[in-house]
Chain A
Amino acid sequence: MGRSNRGLDAGNIELKGVNFSHLPKLKRFISPFKWYLLLALALAVAMSLLSTAGPLLVRRAIDVDIPSGDFSGLSKTALTYLGIMVFIEVLSVSQRYVMSWTGQHMLYSMRRALFSHLQDLGLDFYDKLQAGRIMSRVTGDIESLNQLISSGVLGLLTDLVTLFAIITVMVQMNLKLALATLTVVPLLFLVVWTLRTRMTRAYHRVRRRIADIAANLQESISGMKIVQAFSREELNAEKFSDTNYESFQAQLEAAWLHALFHPMVDIISALGSALIVYYGGLRMSWNDPTVTVGTIVAFLNYMTRFFWPIRNLTEVYNLILQAGVSSERVFEILETEPNVKDKEDAIELGEIRGHVRFNNVVFGYEPGLPVLHGVSIEAKPNETIALVGPTGAGKSSIINLLCRFYDVDEGEILVDGVDIRDVTLDSLRRNLGIVLQDTFIFSGTVRDNIRYGRLDATDEEIEEAARIVGAHEFISRLPDGYDTEVRERGSRLSVGQRQLLSFARALLADPRILILDEATSSVDAYTEYLIQKALEKLFRGRTSIVIAHRLSTIRNADRIYVIEDGRVAEVGNHDELIDKGGLYKALYEKQFAGAPLVGPEHEPEADVLGSDTGRGVTGTLRLRPEQAD
């Protein structure tokens, strides 16, 4: 696997500089709000036009009202000025509100799209990309877009319109002076252009380092008990500090560019002012009647106003670039194709009888490295099929394929005669009940966790399911019974209890086909007894396909498939296979040989059973567990 498990984050982003090619993709988030955006834009234009009136009024005061000593004219000018400003601010409030409302709704739909897409992505994606890294995109990167929106950057839209309005007014007032002043604009572009590439690259690095931090953190929090058990605090802190330091370095580089950027814009602005004074003064010395002191003052005013938006822009420029980088990372996820998805014309799989058939299935996780080489398996309705075999034989892969966590490379899998690739994933999985080895407990109440199997189940049904699998007893002894809060790490529930919960969950779902990966971890004797009783009930009346480790399960199975090296090595029931004297018998006898410890006073049933149970308190036949992939 090597470094490849860093997945998306180790990609070739490093080499990319400026990349705004993803901007058109934003369209899908923008277009639902285009009317709001147009409204905001219209408000912005109105504001900008009005705001150019300010310096004009100041010029009027300086050139007309004051020299003529017209105090009432001055008052009128000042009042007009104030009136316009009030009006502008009213517009500003509305504009900003519309913008932020729209912005937040866009973020909302982006988060939603990401989350929804994450549900569709196949397990291969989750196998490769650490949870921390995924989270850093859905929260961190979206948050940096949010920073942009809430920083008032949308006010910049107004400012941009203002820029054009200012240029128009300046050109109108005095074309030559305006042209002289605007010679600084190309210079400005040059500076922005040269720095932008480097800044984007720097922000890419920053985001990636932040994802590193998140990944490190996520893992050490999830594994904190091991960390403490092995006294790794000091070393981990050092490692984290290294990751953290890399992030610090990346931030510094970005900060340096940012620090350079802003003053350069200021200097260019001052260059503009110097040009106005020098060229304007020169024209006055040539007795050009179109240039007055009032004009120069107005121009200086406009120059300041001209650079306000640009200066604001430099303040938030890093936010803009960060947001650009972030949205790129967001789209990287959105554009990752799920490895398994519905065909265009996929049909709904309705009520099924539960007939499962694998026809010559070939499958590999990596191209060219098949783990299943032509597997054919059949489970008739209501049969229980046990899969046994050594580690890495391909048992889990068989289950993964039936759940369509992955698609077959060759051959086909039929449920009631229908190829599972022809039906929708949802309708397929709704007919399947899947109980995995690692029982995942969601934070919530015990009741919620069982209800996960069928969301519309009543409390009575939940308790009934718990009762059937024998979980009711321990649940009712919890401090708040069914309403006891459990956490993601399932704290204070033992492994056995969690298994029982997951059985209740599966039973509640009442699937036609039950897929079970028997947990190999042993539990105490009584819980084991409960689990076995529960399994009997679970298997009853439905097709069950089980990666079996319990002797009881294996012996009760209608058929046992012994899987070896991705092939079906033997098929038959327990007695047939023992008679056959093949791989199954060998596996079984290893079990037998490993049980020298049966107490003599308990010999009577030792023919088959003592062998099994003698090995451990659980009486679990521990054939080799499965390799996941």
Chain B
Amino acid sequence: MKVLRRLLKFAAPYWNRYLLAIALVFAISGLNLLEPMVIKWVIDEILESKNYTLLLYGALAILGVAILKGILQCFQRFSMSWAGQKVVFDIRNTLYRHLQQLSFSFYDKAQTGQIMSRVTSDVETTQRFLSNGLVNIVSIVVTFTWTLVIMLSHHAKLTLMAMIPVPFLAWRVQVYSTQIRPMFWNIQQQLAVLTARLQENITGQRVVKAFARKDHEMEIFERDNMALLERNVRAERLSGVNWALMRLLTEISLGIILWYGGWQVISGNISYGTLVAFNMWLGQLLGPIRRLGFWVSMVQRTVASGERIFEILDTKAEVDDKPGAKPMPPIEGRVVFEDVSFSYDGDHMVIDGINLDVKPGQTIAILGGTGSGKSTLINLVPRFYDVTKGRILINGIDIRDVTLESLRRQIGIVTQETFLFSASLRDNIAYGKPEATDQEVIEAAKAAHIHDFIAGLPQGYDSIIGERGVGLSGGQKQRVAIARALLMDARILLLDESTSSVDVETEMRIQEAFSRLLEDRTAFVIAQRLSTVRNADWIIVLDKGRIAEQGTHEELLKKGGIYTSIYNLQFRPQEVEFGDSERARFEEAASQGGGD
């Protein structure tokens, strides 16, 4: 029940609403008890004693109690729903905030659909508990206790007889809740699997269609769908049996009252009215207890969903602000790598003992084969991952000692893959600086050579682009991404193969824009372009996470190492067949650089 306690912690700020609702519950169950007493009075004092002048008052009393109760109920329910929905609102916000803080390493592994299923479906489940469920359970308990007290005070023996099935009932509830919980957990789990499957299918729809793989996709989906079906049916079966048992036990109580109570009436120990009132009180126990099975299963569902929610909330952001982290002062641009190593799995070093001292305004070109650690190296600077060993200093400050936000705000990034959001082009460009003026946005767009295209659109900068940026070509997306980074006006720039998919003319202009931009900024560029390499102040060639070679273009060419072979490779026309010996040299050289 630790999960429930934690969920209730979210409800704590709204304790006054809950308190109000619970106070109202007490009043309402009081009125509930009053009802049979009114009926008892009507039967004994009016009908049995043929005192018909009071009849109208009797009827009005019944109605009056009900109206009062109705009004209280209305307020009680609304204040409960309000609280429940507000808690859900808070949980969603908390989850969302937390998700945004989780590090890249989390997103490397997590499936979008799985996360979504938790923030939507699981949170909704807890809402049902936190609004209706909680108050219903309180009301059941309160009604049960009060009814019991009243019944005991009227006729203890009859009450005790009627309560014979209760221990058995309690035992059933206990058994049921232990059995059903794993079932609900399984259901939510399978639902998330299905959601993830669906999410992938939808985002990969082009590929699915391209390979005419509908049947295959259906087959996999069917399998997961069937598993969900089976789990649901199993839980339903258990619930059904439980529900019937609960009802039966309450009916047994009624039978006992009829039999034993009737005997007491015959013996003259109690009145007709008391028997009828007992019958009704029992009916009031019956209703909630009948639904108890439903609420118990809801609690179990909530616990299952709560566990899944807390699984996310308990995931620690691997990269996080240190306690007492200070904001990064304005960056001048000196970046120092001191013996930096990094590993994703704690085992295999992807970056291995890198030392670098980059002066403000320098451009560092990073070269190396696929998997040599180029992207990883760049990812360490804005702390997408934290170094495993060594440290990175900016302005002489270890970047782990400053707040993430202040660090990242001063770094402009163009990633390898362009992700744009379904929002207007303006919002996409101003993504890193939402307060930017229209003028600034337009200037950035002009610098990235996307302004003319945008201005030509019917809605200009207000054009909304699709979720996956479907409305734009790869080159256009890239230029928007460049404009986005330009607008940040950061002291440190990280470019990852960024300007590669734009057309020739644009690329030239972007080159110009970049060289202007790079002038007084520190830049790390994963270079695929000779111009970048030649203009760079320093070139490092990575191999298996180590710096294999470094120097300026000329120095490295003279050296005749990996850089030279990469350089040669790029100059080799693709359509010319390589001589065997040359090819062998290449493959050797390149595979050295192409390690993973």
Q: Give bound CA distance, A274 to B61, whole Å.
A: 8
The reply to whether the CB of B10 lies closer than 8 angstroms to some CB of chain A is no
Residue of A nearest to B276 (CB): A297
Decide if A218 touches B112 in the complex (CB within 8 Å). Answer: yes
Stretch from B84-92, B169-177, B353-361 forming part of the interface with A: B84-92
The reply to whether the CB of B555 lies closer than 8 angstroms to some CB of chain A is no
Stretch from A379-387, A459-467, A577-585, A606-614 forming part of the interface with B: A606-614
Decide if A597 touches B531 in the complex (CB within 8 Å). Answer: yes
Chain A residues whose C-beta falls within 8 Å of the C-beta of B369 in the assembled complex = 524, 526-527
Picked from A126, A234, A487, the residue with its CB within 8 Å of the CB of B108 is: A487
Q: Give bound CA distance, A17 to B255, whole Å.
A: 47
Stretch from B149-157, B334-342, B417-425 forming part of the interface with A: B417-425
Picked from B92, B470, B596, the residue with its CB within 8 Å of the CB of A474 is: B596
The reply to whether the CB of A425 lies closer than 8 angstroms to some CB of chain B is yes
Interface size class of A (residues with CB under 8 A): 35 or more
Decide if B500 touches A522 in the complex (CB within 8 Å). Answer: yes
Chain A residues whose C-beta falls within 8 Å of the C-beta of B415 in the assembled complex = 225-226, 229
Decide if B575 touches A556 in the complex (CB within 8 Å). Answer: yes
Residue of A nearest to B414 (CB): A229
Contact A526/B590 with A115-B198, A217-B119 known, Cβ cut-off 8 Å: yes
Contact A78/B85 with A115-B198, A255-B131 known, Cβ cut-off 8 Å: no
The reply to whether the CB of A566 lies closer than 8 angstroms to some CB of chain B is no
Decide if A391 touches B566 in the complex (CB within 8 Å). Answer: no
Decide if B74 touches A263 in the complex (CB within 8 Å). Answer: yes
Decide if A251 touches B85 in the complex (CB within 8 Å). Answer: yes
The reply to whether the CB of B413 lies closer than 8 angstroms to some CB of chain A is yes
Interchain Cβ contacts within 8 Å, total number: 611
Chain B residues whose C-beta falls within 8 Å of the C-beta of A525 in the assembled complex = 566, 569-570, 590
Q: Give bound CA distance, A22 to B85, whole Å.
A: 29
Contact A218/B116 with A96-B244, A255-B82, A552-B575 known, Cβ cut-off 8 Å: yes
Stretch from B44-52, B390-398, B515-523 forming part of the interface with A: B44-52
The reply to whether the CB of B333 lies closer than 8 angstroms to some CB of chain A is no
The reply to whether the CB of B552 lies closer than 8 angstroms to some CB of chain A is no
Contact A78/B96 with A275-B59, A281-B58 known, Cβ cut-off 8 Å: no
Decide if A590 touches B505 in the complex (CB within 8 Å). Answer: yes
Among B65, B101, B206, B240, the one with the most A-chain Cβ atoms within 10 Å of its Cβ is B240
The reply to whether the CB of A324 lies closer than 8 angstroms to some CB of chain B is no
Chain A residues whose C-beta falls within 8 Å of the C-beta of B30 in the assembled complex = none
Q: Give bound CA distance, A590 to B431, whole Å.
A: 33
The smallest beta-carbon distance between A37 and chain B, in angstroms, is 16
The reply to whether the CB of B459 lies closer than 8 angstroms to some CB of chain A is yes
The reply to whether the CB of B13 lies closer than 8 angstroms to some CB of chain A is no
Q: Give bound CA distance, A629 to B471, whole Å.
A: 6
The smallest beta-carbon distance between A534 and chain B, in angstroms, is 12
B154-208 interface (Cβ within 8 A of A): 191, 194-196, 198-208
The reply to whether the CB of A21 lies closer than 8 angstroms to some CB of chain B is no
Chain A residues whose C-beta falls within 8 Å of the C-beta of B213 in the assembled complex = 452, 455
Contact A78/B255 with A274-B62, A436-B207, A525-B570 known, Cβ cut-off 8 Å: yes
The reply to whether the CB of A175 lies closer than 8 angstroms to some CB of chain B is no
Decide if A78 touches B529 in the complex (CB within 8 Å). Answer: no
The smallest beta-carbon distance between A602 and chain B, in angstroms, is 5
Binary flags per residue of B570-596, CB closer than 8 Å to A gives 1, else 0? 111111100000000010001101111
Q: Give bound CA distance, A601 to B571, whole Å.
A: 11
Binary flags per residue of B217-259, CB closer than 8 Å to A gives 1, else 0? 1100110011011001101110111011101100110111011
Q: Give bound CA distance, A282 to B53, whole Å.
A: 9
Q: Give bound CA distance, A616 to B505, whole Å.
A: 14
The reply to whether the CB of B497 lies closer than 8 angstroms to some CB of chain A is yes
Stretch from B1-9, B139-147, B260-268, B437-445 forming part of the interface with A: B260-268
Decide if A267 touches B570 in the complex (CB within 8 Å). Answer: no
The reply to whether the CB of B550 lies closer than 8 angstroms to some CB of chain A is no
Residue of A nearest to B428 (CB): A226
The reply to whether the CB of B93 lies closer than 8 angstroms to some CB of chain A is yes
Decide if B47 touches A296 in the complex (CB within 8 Å). Answer: yes
The reply to whether the CB of B475 lies closer than 8 angstroms to some CB of chain A is yes
Residue of B nearest to A70 (CB): B266
Decide if B473 touches A625 in the complex (CB within 8 Å). Answer: yes
Residue of B nearest to A223 (CB): B419
Contact A119/B233 with A226-B431, A263-B73, A628-B470 known, Cβ cut-off 8 Å: no
Residue of A nearest to B268 (CB): A69
The reply to whether the CB of B557 lies closer than 8 angstroms to some CB of chain A is yes
The smallest beta-carbon distance between B177 and chain A, in angstroms, is 16
Residue of B nearest to A234 (CB): B405
The reply to whether the CB of B117 lies closer than 8 angstroms to some CB of chain A is yes
Residue of B nearest to A102 (CB): B233
Stretch from A127-135, A166-174, A195-203, A408-416 forming part of the interface with B: A127-135
Q: Give bound CA distance, A609 to B201, whole Å.
A: 42
Q: Give bound CA distance, A119 to B216, whole Å.
A: 11
Decide if A2 touches B211 in the complex (CB within 8 Å). Answer: no
Decide if B262 touches A74 in the complex (CB within 8 Å). Answer: yes
Interface size class of B (residues with CB under 8 A): 35 or more
Decide if A429 touches B212 in the complex (CB within 8 Å). Answer: yes
Picked from A100, A227, A262, the residue with its CB within 8 Å of the CB of B240 is: A100
Chain A residues whose C-beta falls within 8 Å of the C-beta of B529 in the assembled complex = 522, 615-617
Q: Give bound CA distance, A508 to B474, whole Å.
A: 27
Picked from A135, A220, A234, the residue with its CB within 8 Å of the CB of B199 is: A135
Contact A119/B111 with A241-B93, A263-B74, A629-B471 known, Cβ cut-off 8 Å: no
The smallest beta-carbon distance between B163 and chain A, in angstroms, is 16
Binary flags per residue of B460-482, CB closer than 8 Å to A gives 1, else 0? 00011111001111111000000
Binary flags per residue of A419-458, CB closer than 8 Å to B gives 1, else 0? 0000001101110101011101011000000001101000
Q: Give bound CA distance, A71 to B287, whole Å.
A: 29
The reply to whether the CB of A93 lies closer than 8 angstroms to some CB of chain B is yes
Q: Give bound CA distance, A262 to B136, whole Å.
A: 13
Decide if B70 touches A263 in the complex (CB within 8 Å). Answer: yes
The reply to whether the CB of A89 lies closer than 8 angstroms to some CB of chain B is yes
Decide if A474 touches B371 in the complex (CB within 8 Å). Answer: yes
Q: Give bound CA distance, A531 to B50, whole Å.
A: 102
Picked from A215, A218, A219, A228, the residue with its CB within 8 Å of the CB of B384 is: A228
Q: Give bound CA distance, A296 to B272, whole Å.
A: 12
The reply to whether the CB of A5 lies closer than 8 angstroms to some CB of chain B is yes
Contact A628/B471 with A150-B239, A297-B276, A616-B528 known, Cβ cut-off 8 Å: yes
The smallest beta-carbon distance between A378 and chain B, in angstroms, is 22
The smallest beta-carbon distance between A66 and chain B, in angstroms, is 5
The reply to whether the CB of A245 lies closer than 8 angstroms to some CB of chain B is yes
Picked from B42, B467, B531, the residue with its CB within 8 Å of the CB of A219 is: B467
Decide if B205 touches A126 in the complex (CB within 8 Å). Answer: yes
The reply to whether the CB of B17 lies closer than 8 angstroms to some CB of chain A is no
Decide if A120 touches B214 in the complex (CB within 8 Å). Answer: yes
Q: Give bound CA distance, A623 to B474, whole Å.
A: 13
Decide if A74 touches B74 in the complex (CB within 8 Å). Answer: no
Contact A487/B52 with A225-B419, A244-B89 known, Cβ cut-off 8 Å: no
Residue of B nearest to A237 (CB): B97
Stretch from A28-36, A105-113, A355-363, A538-546 forming part of the interface with B: A105-113
Contact A627/B476 with A405-B209, A440-B206, A617-B529 known, Cβ cut-off 8 Å: yes
Residue of B nearest to A120 (CB): B214
Decide if A434 touches B211 in the complex (CB within 8 Å). Answer: yes
Contact A252/B82 with A218-B199, A229-B415, A267-B70 known, Cβ cut-off 8 Å: yes
The reply to whether the CB of A392 lies closer than 8 angstroms to some CB of chain B is yes
The reply to whether the CB of A82 lies closer than 8 angstroms to some CB of chain B is yes
Contact A526/B594 with A78-B255, A308-B287, A610-B571 known, Cβ cut-off 8 Å: yes
The reply to whether the CB of B294 lies closer than 8 angstroms to some CB of chain A is yes
Decide if A478 touches B596 in the complex (CB within 8 Å). Answer: yes
Decide if B243 touches A139 in the complex (CB within 8 Å). Answer: no
Residue of A nearest to B233 (CB): A104
Provide 19 A-B residue pairs closer than 8 Å at the C-beta atoms, listed in order of the A residue. A115-B201, A152-B243, A221-B99, A225-B384, A225-B419, A255-B81, A256-B81, A259-B76, A263-B74, A296-B47, A403-B210, A443-B196, A488-B199, A519-B474, A524-B593, A526-B586, A532-B574, A605-B576, A608-B573
7 closest cross-chain pairs (CB), A and B: A270-B66, A255-B81, A526-B590, A78-B259, A624-B503, A609-B573, A520-B501
